[in-house]
Structure 1
Amino acid sequence: MIEDIVPDSERRGLIGVLPAAARPFASLMRLDRPIGVWLLFWPCAWSIALAGVGERGVALLLWFALGAFAMRSAGCVYNDIIDRDLDARVERTRLRPLASKRVSLKAAWVLLVGLSLIGLAVLLQLQRTAQMVALASLALVAAYPFMKRITWWPQAWLGLVFSWGALVGWPAVRGEMGVPALLLYAGSIFWVIGYDTIYALQDREDDALVGVKSSALALGKRARSGIAVFYMLALGFWGAAIHSLRPEVLALAALLPVAVHLLWQVASLKPDEGADALAKFRSNRFAGFLMFLACLVVGTAGA
Structure 2
Amino acid sequence: MTPTHLPDAVPDNWVDRYAPAALVPWLKLGRFDRPTGIWLLMLPGWMGVALADAAVGKYPDPVLLILILIGATLMRSAGCAYNDIVDRDIDAQVERTARRPIPAGEISVKQAWLAIVLCSLGGLIILLSLNLWAVLLGVLSLGLVAAYPFMKRITWWPQAWLGLTFNWGAPLGYAAATGGRSPFDYALGLPGNEAIALSPWPAVLLYAGLIFWTLGYDTIYAVQDLEDDALVGVKSSARRLGEQAPRGVLIFYVASFVLLVCAAWLGALGPLFLPLAAIVAVLLSRQAARLDIADGAGALALFKSNTWVGLLMVAALAAGLWKQQGGAPF
**TM-score above 0.5, yes or no:** yes
Instruction: Identify the residue that residue 128 of structure 2 maps to in structure 1.
Output: 124
User: Does residue 25 of the first structure (1) align with residue 47 of the second (2)?
Assistant: no
The answer for unaligned runs of 5 or more in structure 2 is: 180-196
Equivalent of residue 283 in structure 2, options 243, 261, 265? 261
User: Does residue 73 of the first structure (1) align with residue 77 of the second (2)?
Assistant: yes
Name the CA distance, whole Å, in 1 between partners of 2:292 and 2:304. 14
- Which structure shows the bigger proportion of residues in helix conformation? 1
Match of 1:236, SS? helix
Name the CA distance, whole Å, in 2 between partners of 1:55 and 1:221. 43
The 1:11/1:207 distance shift into structure 2, 3 A limit, reads: closer
Name the CA distance, whole Å, in 1 between partners of 2:126 and 2:88. 29
Instruction: Identify the residue that residue 193 of structure 1 maps to in structure 2.
Output: 215
- Once the two structures are overlaid, the 10-residue window that deviates more, 141-150 or 5-14, is 5-14
- In the TM superposition, 1:157-168 aligns within 5 A as 157-168=161-172
Cα deviation, residue 263, structure 1: 1.1
Instruction: Identify the residue that residue 148 of structure 2 maps to in structure 1.
Output: 144
Task: Say whether the 8 Å CA contact 1:159–1:190 is kept in structure 2.
Answer: yes
Task: Say whether the 8 Å CA contact 2:270–2:323 is kept in structure 1.
Answer: no
Instruction: Identify the residue that residue 252 of structure 2 maps to in structure 1.
Output: 230
- Once the two structures are overlaid, the 10-residue window that deviates more, 222-231 or 245-254, is 245-254
Instruction: Identify the residue that residue 243 of structure 1 maps to in structure 2.
Output: 265
Cα deviation, residue 250, structure 1: 7.0
Cα deviation, residue 266, structure 1: 1.2
TM-score by structure 2 length?
0.86
- Once the two structures are overlaid, the 10-residue window that deviates more, 193-202 or 96-105, is 96-105
Instruction: Identify the residue that residue 115 of structure 1 maps to in structure 2.
Output: 119
Equivalent of residue 207 in structure 1, options 207, 229, 239? 229
How many equivalent residue pairs?
Answer: 301
Alignment-mate amino acid for residue 180 of structure 1: P
Name the CA distance, whole Å, in 1 between partners of 2:4 and 2:209. 39
Deviations 1:266-291 (A, max 9, x none): 12222210111000000000000110
Matched-pair identity in % = 48
Cα deviation, residue 5, structure 1: 8.8
Alignment-mate amino acid for residue 79 of structure 1: N
User: Does residue 14 of the first structure (1) align with residue 14 of the second (2)?
Assistant: yes
Alignment-mate amino acid for residue 72 of structure 2: A
User: Does residue 36 of the first structure (1) align with residue 37 of the second (2)?
Assistant: yes
Name the CA distance, whole Å, in 2 between partners of 1:182 and 1:231. 17
TM-score by structure 1 length?
0.93
Cα deviation, residue 254, structure 1: 4.1
Alignment-mate amino acid for residue 128 of structure 2: L
Cα deviation, residue 234, structure 1: 0.2
Cα deviation, residue 46, structure 1: 0.7
